[in-house]
Amino acid sequence: MFSKQLFKTYLKTNILGQKIIYKNKTSSTNTDAKEYLYNKNFHGSIFVSDSQYNGRGRRGSSWESTPDKSLTFSLLLHPEIKLKNIGLIPLVIGIGIVKGILISTSISAGLKWPNDIFLNNKKIGGILIETKQINNYISLVIGIGLNINEQINDISENIIKKTTSLSIHASKTFSRELILANILDEFEILFNSNLNSIIDIWESYCIHQNKNVTFHSKEEIHTGTFKGISENGYAKIEIDNNLKKFPSGMIIL
Ligand code: BTN
């Protein structure tokens, strides 16, 4: 069971994760967080569960997790950020996750556009960002699912070829509390920093820079060469010698 007390001993942030709403079992931590979309006092709160029975992934998929072994949580943000910079948030989140994992476990994961965390070409995590514009500001629910201590037989047969966990990779178990605390520390450090070099950092963790990629945007599938990230956080893809830009696909509530 996830220990709030242990998590707090590791956490070094001023704001992020200081308020934690923990449920042993819930439908989806993103749904839990959405109840506080209009409450500015909950900026930086996290919603954690040991077991989701209706976990949601991107593009309407479901998100599989294993009770007490996966890390499933959502971060609620009411940032004072200009609308045009909102596209940089998914980059911050991806980088913070990879750095938090590295600090906690010495494992180097990578990033796959738009919001996947990869290890040796297999997925270990995903990010589902849902946003809502309220008056002049944007609220975000950032849902993160990470495979931490799952063993091979915890993962469904239909995804085992393309999915792994930190534990399968390293043949040992890890503290979910430490990983979560380090990820939130990294988010806060990044959000408080000048975001000028965020694109270069994201590209340095990207597993397919200048490689051929196939991905979904809206209802279409595109194939091209991934050329990096534009200044507002869009993917730059070269398709038939034309450079096209695609947003990361945050869901608008
Ligand atoms: C993806 O499809 O890759 C995104 C997966 C996001 C899963 C997380 S788990 C915590 C939060 N609650 C949800 O229902 N989904 C997100």
Ligand 1: centre distance to CA 243 (Å): 30
Give, for ligand 1, the residue of 144, 146, 179 to mutate: max count of ligand atoms closer than 8 Å to Cβ.
144
Q: What is the pLDDT of residue 243?
A: 96
Q: What is the pLDDT of residue 135?
A: 79
**Model confidence pTM above 0.75:** yes
Confidence of residue 218 (pLDDT cuts 50, 70, 90): confident
Q: What is the pLDDT of residue 114?
A: 84
Confidence of residue 81 (pLDDT cuts 50, 70, 90): low
* Ligand 1 binding pocket includes 30 (Cβ within 6 Å): yes
Contact call for residues 147 and 70 (beta carbons, < 8 A): yes
Q: What is the pLDDT of residue 12?
A: 98
